[in-house]
A and B are shown apart, each in its own frame.
Chain A
Amino acid sequence: MTFSVRRRTLPYLFVLPAVLLFAAFKLYPIVASFRLSLYHQAGGVEEFAGIDNYTRLLDDSLFWTALGNSATILAVQVPVMLALATGLAVAFNSTLLKARPLFRLGFFLPMVTGLVAYGIVFSVLLNQQYGLVNWLLGADLPWLTDPLLAKASLGLALTWHYTGYNAVILLARLQTIPTELYDAAAVDGAGAWGRFRHVTLPGLRPALLLTTVLSTIGTLQLFDEPYVLTGGGPDNATLTIGMYLYQNAFKYFDFGYASAIAYALALLIGLLGLLQFKVLGGKS
């Protein structure tokens, strides 16, 4: 009797610390900020506004611009980055590569710069007049001041920043694929590409799902890069939802509206996430 009772409560014990911590420190603020999105504050007085903040979003052209920018980055940058990360992970795992520890560290280093320095380094590198990139290329490209190039610079910075990070996640997963599977495939006559398609990719699937979901969420919430590189400009070409949210909360002190933006975004992410689970999930 006691054994089966213990068996039944056991899983809850494993997840209990996480759930309690979450309930106390994340759930409460989430519920509080959702509540905030239903209020409108004017002159220090709060009034219940129902879904006013949400309907305001529909008419807000800046919100839609931000959404469009975020979606563009998502559609272009994330697949490219994940493909690169997969390639890197395979290379990091391969015995063909010499000095693997150094390579792994080298590609991971971009994650290590803090926000303040990241901004300084990249705005100097990409500066039109005295930037290192233009100096090396012998060009005079307006990396951060032309709308299209600014978006490209953002994508470039993101790829630089996160490819190594995703490669490490994929690498960790790669190493759980039993080597017998590769041997069996080789015995069946599969070449390198065949082994990649039939053993590596399926084995990576859960990690690919993880990195896709994380990258999607990260891109839609993107704040750091636009904040330090372009301030959302020029003329809102690099305004992301994350930036717009920050502006509304911390520059215009419109916390209710900012919360509404966050929850509208959450809805969107939820829908996208579900989609990705359906497509990539399978058995997790």
Chain B
Amino acid sequence: MTSLDRRGLLRLGGALTVGAGLAACSGTGTGSGADSGGAGDPRKGEITVWSWQGPAAQLKALLPEFNKAYPDIKVTVQDIGNPAIWDKITTGLAAGGSGLADVLHIGVDYLPGYVEKFPTGLADLGPLGATKHKDAFAQGLWQTVAPKGRVNALPWEANSGGFYYRADLFEKAGVDVESLATWDEVIEAGKKLKAATGVHLLGIDKPASQPDAANFFQLLLQLQGKFYFDLDGAITLDSPEAVTALTLIKKMNDAGLVSDLAGGWSALENSIKEGTAAVLPWPTWFGGIIEGLVPQEAGKWKVRLPPAVRRGGATAATVNSTHLAVAGSSKQQAAAWSFIEFMLTRPASQVAIYRGKGIAPALMAAYEDSLFHEPSAFFSGQKKGEIFLQALKSPTPATNYSADYARALKVVTDAQTKVLLKGADPAEVLKQAADQLAQQTGRKVVR
């Protein structure tokens, strides 16, 4: 019996020791950063690119032209799917960069987090040649990709806050939309609209079934030049501007002007097809979506920049952007850079991508193409490209998304849900949200 006991226990002990030993040898776990990446040859190599459906198709479409300039760089663009791509990139970065593609398409909701948690996870594009493009992009975007000088990615898409509306419905209600100067005036107009046509003013995902339910709140906040964090990284969630923004939303909701968009993208699509709301406060890229969903409503829609929150305030805000980055673990960083440079800094590339999918360029030079200055039949002859170009050219304060943007977004959408579904007081829920965020992140709240 004793020999059996010993043997059994020895085996158990052996297994545990092996496991522990392996764990000890595993190194420092997450965030230990890049590994053995290398520049390689800028004109030669095989690279992979990770993106999702729409943008990926545009990149693939441009490959023949890319290969004319760089015949020795073989590119494979892979459609990973959104949101599946985030799990893949996150795991890869957390594992020190293993298994990542060379070029990664990253949205602004993920980029700052990746940059801070995995400081060498994305390659520094500066030495590869990025710095000369510093002033080529819309304002504020360089701050997003290179907050401390190290260039973590290059901007691809830049979207400004927009105000798409059904001009015919507002006309019926006797409202001149172009003259609305503040959101308070918009609310009054919304009441007239509802009375005359029965249509809501706009829609919000009230129970926050998607993380981007607070897009509208964020727009109102950014129009006031503020965000969830200040440039030092302190929390400004319960600032007076935030309370103003959420109070505006509450006022709209209390007046019965807000329809519910719970259920994700398909709910939004349905709402547009059924004409539930007359205003779509969505960014630049949304114009093409509307055209695609309700082509029969051509001529009924118009677009303008959103009204200001306070009289005389800003009407332009860059509300989101996407970027291309190079993995720190990539052994073909130079070739990857050649790809990025070709796609993002060459006006012809950006024009082709816009033509294909309506992805608005961050590259200012692209806007010289006549494509952006054409009148749109759908939007009642307006030159919508010019409207958004004007927004991109307006001075915009830099936005600090910070590494904790995802957390902030969660507490904000929860606060908004409380206000919209439970009638809570905006100042109170924002204070709670700020405190909760502080507890989670260890940041200070600006009070």
Is A235 within 8 A of B414, CB to CB?
yes
Cross-chain contact A234 with B29 (CB below 8 angstroms) = no
Interface size on B, residues (CB 8 A): 58
A60-B440 CB under 8 A given contacts A12-B11, A28-B19, A123-B263: yes
A128 to chain B, nearest CB (A): 7
> Quick check: which of B248-256, B319-327, B357-365, B404-412 contacts chain A, the rest being far away?
B404-412
Contact: B19 with A128, CB < 8 Å?
no
Chain A residues with Cβ below 8 Å from B90 are 249-250, 253
Q: Are A145 and B209 in contact (CB under 8 A)?
A: yes
Contact B207 A234 (CB under 8 A): yes
Residues of A within 8 A of B116 (CB): 43-44
**Which residue of the partner chain, among A30, A39, A249, contacts B29 with CB atoms under 8 Å?**
A39
B26 touches A (CB below 8 Å):
yes
In the complex, chain B residues whose CB is within 8 Å of the CB of A211: none
B210 an interface residue at 8 Å Cβ cutoff?
Answer: yes
Measured in the bound complex, the distance between the Cα atoms of B272 and A44 in whole Å is 44
Q: Which residues of B contact A44 (CB under 8 A)?
A: 31-33, 116-120
- Encoded as 1 (CB less than 8 Å from any A CB) or 0, chain B from 12 to 32 comes to 000110111011001011111
B117 touches A253 (CB 8 A): yes
Pairwise interchain contact A145-B207, C-beta atoms closer than 8 A: yes
Q: Is the CB of A36 within 8 A of B210?
A: no
Q: Are A253 and B421 in contact (CB under 8 A)?
A: no
Contacts of B86 in A (CB 8 A): 250
Q: Give the chain B neighbours of A36 by CB distance below 8 A.
A: 29-30
| Minimal Cβ-Cβ distance residue in A for B263 | A127
Considering the chains assembled together, what is the distance between the CA atoms of A30 and B26 in angstroms? Answer: 12
Interface residue? A255 (CB, 8 A): yes
Q: Complex formed: what's the CA distance from A231 to B209 in Å? A: 6
A31-B23, A44-B33, A253-B113 known; A233-B263 Cβ under 8 A:
no
- Number of A interface residues in the complex (CB < 8 A): 47
Q: Of A32, A142, A256, which contacts B26 at CB under 8 A?
A: A32
B262 touches A128 (CB 8 A): yes
Interface string of A122-164 (1 = CB under 8 A from B): 0110011110000000000010111000100000000000000
Contact (Cβ within 8 A) B31 A144: no
Q: Is the CB of B436 within 8 A of A61?
A: yes
Tell me if A252 counts as interface (CB < 8 A to partner B): yes
A88-146 residues at the B interface, CB under 8 angstroms = 123-124, 127-130, 142, 144-146
Tell me whether A145 and B30 are in contact (CB under 8 A): no
**16 pairs, A vs B, C-beta closer than 8 Å:** A27-B19, A28-B23, A28-B26, A32-B29, A44-B33, A59-B439, A62-B436, A123-B266, A144-B263, A230-B207, A231-B209, A234-B417, A250-B87, A252-B407, A253-B90, A255-B30
On A, residues with C-beta under 8 Å from B are 8-9, 12, 19, 23, 27-28, 30-32, 35-36, 39, 41, 43-46, 59-62, 123-124, 127-130, 142, 144-146, 150, 230-231, 233-236, 247, 249-253, 255-256
4 tightest CB-CB pairs across the interface, nearest first? Answer: A234-B207, A27-B19, A145-B207, A44-B119
